[in-house]
């Protein structure tokens, strides 16, 4: 049975959220921003929202990703990609870590290779245009 990867009750989800919070805190501190300053820049009503995110008790709403990336001085694509690795690891894996994408193409099964023909083959006999009934 499929379980939703973003449920807070999941131990893995909580671990990923905590890691995301640590990453966000590191970015904020690198910019020299307090939680209050960051909250003002991203339009958060309460600075405690920043604290909740940094301790893994919430998520940045997707419609605010670009504002956050700008406030934290991070490339928008890298910011969203990194957040996705924490917030939605299944989709991230499909888009960026797909092991099938790195595998070489499958070899043809013996005898399944198609050979070029001069014309259509019908029961072992090659028919050329001049031979085919019209």
Q: Within a domain: residue 104?
A: no
* Nearby residues of 51 by Cβ (< 8 Å), 6 or more positions away: 35
d(CA 99, CA 78): 21
pLDDT at 76: 97
Q: Which is more confident, 22 or 127? A: 22
Q: What is the pLDDT of residues 65-113, one digit of tens each?
A: 999 999 999 999 999 999 999 999 999 999 987 565 444 444 444 544 4
Evaluate the CA torsion angle 62, 66, 70, 71 in order and state its sign.
Answer: negative
Q: Which is more confident, 117 or 19? A: 19
Q: What is the mean pLDDT of residues 118-123?
A: 50
**Which domain covers residue 94, as residue numbers?**
11-98
Q: What is the pLDDT of residues 32-53, one digit of tens each?
A: 999 999 999 999 999 999 999 9
Q: Within a domain: residue 25?
A: yes
Q: Within a domain: residue 43?
A: yes
Q: Which is more confident, 32 or 124? A: 32
Q: Within a domain: residue 6?
A: no
pLDDT bin (cut points 50, 70, 90) of residue 29 is very high
Q: Within a domain: residue 81?
A: yes
> What is the CATH number for 76?
1.10.260.40
Say how many domains are in the chain. 1
């Amino acid at each position: 049975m499929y379980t939703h990867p973003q449920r807070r009750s999941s131990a893995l989800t909580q671990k990923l959220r905590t890691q995301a919070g640590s990453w966000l805190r590191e970015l904020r501190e690198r910019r020299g921003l307090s939680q209050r300053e960051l909250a003002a820049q991203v339009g958060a009503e309460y600075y405690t929202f920043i604290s909740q995110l940094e301790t893994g008790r919430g998520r940045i709403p997707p419609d605010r990703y670009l504002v956050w990336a700008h406030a934290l001085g991070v490339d928008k694509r890298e910011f969203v990609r990194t957040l996705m690795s924490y917030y939605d690891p299944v989709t991230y894996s499909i888009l960026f870590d797909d092991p099938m994408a790195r595998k070489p193409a499958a070899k043809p099964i013996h005898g399944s290779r198609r050979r070029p023909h001069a014309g259509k083959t019908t029961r072992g006999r090659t028919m050329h245009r001049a031979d085919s009934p019209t």
